């Protein structure tokens, strides 16, 4: 099954039919709990001698199909679905880092992740060291004995410069530090594990769901990081865990496969913090997944056409799109992406901040929302919205300039997308003429 192509895995991996009813569509198991067959059965489940359903905060049969399908699509060993992308990145780190530890992260991050790292994790005693991904060696220089993870996004906006996954994963392999990749903006077109990443996180709210109906996230464990070899760095996985009657996670999973990291996340963090996805949302993500490879192809195709169109428009001073980049940025994109450069396009209007806002206000079909990865084309002005809570210096480090507009190009017909862009660009430039 795992040798099948993404289009096939997205439809078939992890499920054939419902064992109870033979239903072909994955049923929504909207239940909190599961009856134990006997006291012996319950005992085996709680002691992890046998894996099975106990309580939906920790596992659910609908969610399990989504988890298995995502793990198959990413080439991972196992996955844990959670309630949001934020929960995915928070739990991915809290699973291996505690007060006194540090994480080395790329500066090019989703605004919410930046805030979590700079403030919430800091308040918990976990230091996040931000480094410029322009130089992969910066990750090595920021590493010390307390470093527990590297963190980055495959296709971070607004810069849209692909992350050097292979280079930083290799440094991590050398020093014994796992690389966590947020692949939210590049599903299917990039499989970070193929390039050496050790853990993959997603906001499934975006392309994976695709229809803009549900908030969710997922953590995928490649199963390839050798936690035992680096036992000094990862006491949380290699020393008896007092929260699970002294389980040593790297030992406990031996009969189950290389899933120490993700099993611990499920049975300790998810048990304790309860960032569970509802079975209904997991069902929505399963529906989204079935067309994800198709949709990504169309997002990429439309985005390429939009980037080209904007580049030839007199009102636009700069277009930011991986497929139009040159030099090292282009090399990085070509190293990790297949079949396109993603659905995100950034551009700067010659008229700056005010033209950017006039453009947004003039849009008719395209939605003005703080989201990406929807079937619909979406636009936002980051400086006044998603990146507003950052200081001007932090905004600059994140690549947000005052006149920058971000498009998440949808899968409508390209003619209709371009028509709405053109009329809004017209309005933006006419407004500028009036203002002058």
Residue 299: CB minimum distance to ligand PLP, A: 14
346 binds ligand PLP (CB under 6 A): no
Dihedral pair phi/psi, residue 368, rounded to 5°: -100, 95
Residue 205: CB minimum distance to ligand PLP, A: 4
> Which range touches ligand PLP (CB under 6 A), out of 109-117, 235-243, 246-254, 296-304?
109-117
Choosing from 56, 62, 63, 84, the residue that interacts with ligand PLP (CB under 6 A) is: 84
> Which range touches ligand PLP (CB under 6 A), out of 120-128, 198-206, 354-362, 380-388?
198-206
* Count of residues in contact with ligand PLP, rule CB under 6 A: 16
Residue 110: CB minimum distance to ligand PLP, A: 4
Nearer to ligand PLP, 203 or 377 (CB): 203
**Cα separation of 370 and 392, whole Å?**
20
Nearer to ligand PLP, 206 or 266 (CB): 206
**Cα separation of 7 and 18, whole Å?**
21
Nearer to ligand PLP, 256 or 370 (CB): 370
153 binds ligand PLP (CB under 6 A): yes
Do 197 and 181 contact (CB within 8 A), yes or no?
yes
For 350, other C-beta atoms within 10 Å of its C-beta total: 15
Nearer to ligand PLP, 153 or 241 (CB): 153
Nearer to ligand PLP, 369 or 418 (CB): 369
DSSP state of 26: P
113 binds ligand PLP (CB under 6 A): yes
Give CA separation, 348 vs 45, 101, 185, 253, in Å. 56, 39, 20, 51
Nearer to ligand PLP, 265 or 372 (CB): 372
| Torsion region of 30: left, alpha or beta (phi above 0 gives left; psi -120 to 50 gives alpha) | beta
Nearer to ligand PLP, 200 or 253 (CB): 200
**Cα separation of 217 and 201, whole Å?**
7
85 binds ligand PLP (CB under 6 A): yes
> How many helices (H) and strands (E) in the chain?
17, 12
Give CA separation, 433 vs 351, 354, 428, 436, in Å. 10, 12, 9, 5
> Which range touches ligand PLP (CB under 6 A), out of 93-101, 132-140, 201-209, 257-265?
201-209
b (16+ CB within 10 A) / e for 180-208 = bbbbbbbbbbbbbbebbbbbbbbbbbbbb
107 binds ligand PLP (CB under 6 A): no
Nearer to ligand PLP, 184 or 238 (CB): 184
Residues 366-385 that bind ligand PLP (CB under 6 A): 372
Nearer to ligand PLP, 101 or 182 (CB): 182
Choosing from 108, 182, 221, 298, the residue that interacts with ligand PLP (CB under 6 A) is: 182
Residue 203: CB minimum distance to ligand PLP, A: 3
Residue 310: CB minimum distance to ligand PLP, A: 22
For 25, other C-beta atoms within 10 Å of its C-beta total: 11
Give CA separation, 261 vs 46, 228, 268, 338, in Å. 18, 11, 11, 29
Q: What is the bridge-based pairing of β-strands 404-408 and 344-349?
A: antiparallel
Task: Report the SS3 class of residue 380.
Answer: strand
**Cα separation of 103 and 117, whole Å?**
9
Nearer to ligand PLP, 185 or 380 (CB): 185
276 binds ligand PLP (CB under 6 A): no
Exposed / middle / buried, residue 131 (Cβ in 10 Å: 0-12, 13-18, 19+): buried
Residues 203-242 that bind ligand PLP (CB under 6 A): 203, 205-206, 215, 217
Q: Of the candidates 108, 149, 98, which has an alpha carbon nearest to the alpha carbon of residue 131?
A: 108
Residue nearest to ligand PLP (CB): 85
Q: Which residues bind ligand PLP (CB under 6 A)?
A: 84-86, 110, 112-113, 153, 182, 184-185, 203, 205-206, 215, 217, 372
């Amino acid at each position: 099954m795992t040798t099948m192509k993404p289009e096939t895995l997205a439809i078939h991996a992890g499920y054939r039919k419902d064992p109870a009813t033979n239903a072909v569509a994955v049923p929504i198991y909207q239940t909190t709990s599961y009856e134990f067959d006997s006291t012996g059965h319950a005992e085996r489940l709680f002691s992890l001698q046998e894996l099975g359903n106990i309580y939906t905060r920790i596992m659910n049969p609908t969610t399990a199909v989504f988890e298995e399908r995502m793990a198959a699509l990413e080439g991972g060993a196992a996955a844990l679905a959670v309630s949001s992308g934020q929960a995915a990145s928070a739990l991915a780190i809290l699973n291996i880092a505690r007060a006194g530890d540090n994480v080395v992260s790329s500066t090019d991050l989703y605004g919410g992740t930046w805030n979590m790292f700079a403030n919430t994790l800091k308040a918990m005693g976990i230091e996040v060291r931000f480094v410029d991904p322009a130089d992969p060696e910066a990750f090595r220089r920021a590493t010390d004995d307390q470093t527990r993870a590297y963190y980055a996004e495959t296709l971070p906006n607004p810069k849209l410069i692909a992350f050097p996954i292979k280079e930083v994963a290799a440094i991590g392999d050398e020093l014994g530090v796992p690389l966590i990749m947020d692949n939210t903006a590049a599903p299917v077109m990039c499989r970070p594990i193929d390039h050496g990443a050790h853990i993959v996180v997603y906001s499934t709210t975006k392309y994976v769901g695709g229809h803009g109906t549900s908030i969710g996230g997922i953590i995928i464990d490649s199963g390839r990081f050798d936690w035992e070899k680096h036992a000094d760095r990862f006491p949380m996985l290699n020393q008896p865990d007092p929260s699970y009657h002294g389980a040593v996670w790297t030992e406990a999973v031996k009969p189950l496969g290389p899933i120490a990291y993700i099993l611990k996340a499920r049975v300790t963090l998810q048990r304790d913090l309860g960032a569970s996805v509802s079975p209904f949302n997991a069902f929505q993500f399963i529906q989204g997944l079935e067309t994800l490879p198709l949709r990504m192809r169309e997002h990429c195709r439309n985005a390429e056409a939009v980037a080209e169109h904007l580049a030839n428009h007199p009102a636009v001073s700069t277009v930011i799109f991986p497929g139009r980049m040159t030099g090292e940025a282009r090399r990085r994109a070509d190293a990790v992406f297949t079949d396109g450069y993603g659905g995100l396009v950034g551009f700067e209007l010659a008229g700056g901040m005010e033209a950017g806002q006039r453009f947004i206000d003039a849009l008719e079909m395209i939605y003005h929302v703080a989201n990406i990865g929807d079937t619909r084309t979406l636009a936002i002005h980051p400086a006044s919205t998603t990146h507003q809570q950052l200081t001007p210096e932090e905004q600059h480090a994140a690549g947000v300039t005052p006149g920058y507009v971000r498009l998440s190009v949808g899968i409508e017909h390209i003619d209709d997308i371009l028509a709405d862009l053109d009329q809004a660009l017209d309005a933006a430039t006419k407004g500028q003429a009036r203002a002058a």
